[in-house]
Amino acid sequence: MDNWIDFYDSAHSIYVNARHRDIHYHRIAEDIAAYVRPNATVVDYGCGEALHADIIAAKALRLILVEPAPSVRARLAQRFGANAKIAIRDGLAAMADGSADLVVMHSVAQYLAPGELDALLARFARLLAPDGLLIVGDVIPPGRSAFADAGELLRFAARNGFFFAALAGLARTTLSPYRKLRARLGLARYDEAALTKKLAAAGFSATRAPANIGHNRGRMTFLARPAGSPVRG
CATH at 197: 3.40.50.150
One-letter amino acid for residue 223 of the chain: L
- The answer to whether position 233 is within a domain reads no
pLDDT surpassing 80 at residue 136: yes
The end-to-end CA distance of the chain, in Å, is 43
Percent of the chain with pLDDT over 70: 91
- The answer to whether position 232 is within a domain reads no
Per-residue buried b or exposed e for 169-190, using 16+ beta carbons within 10 Å of the residue's own CB: bbeebeebebeebbeeeeebbb
Domain that holds residue 25: 4-226
Rounded to whole angstroms, how far apart are CA atoms 112 and 233? 30
- The answer to whether position 184 is within a domain reads yes
Rounded to whole angstroms, how far apart are CA atoms 122 and 127? 9
Confidence of residue 168 (pLDDT cuts 50, 70, 90): confident
Confidence of residue 143 (pLDDT cuts 50, 70, 90): confident
pLDDT tens, residue by residue, 51-101: 999 999 999 999 999 999 999 999 999 999 999 999 999 999 989 999 999
H/E stretch holding 77: helix 70-80
- The answer to whether position 231 is within a domain reads no
Please count the structural domains in the chain: 1
Q: Cβ neighbours of residue 130 under 8 Å, at least 6 residues apart?
A: 98, 226, 229, 230
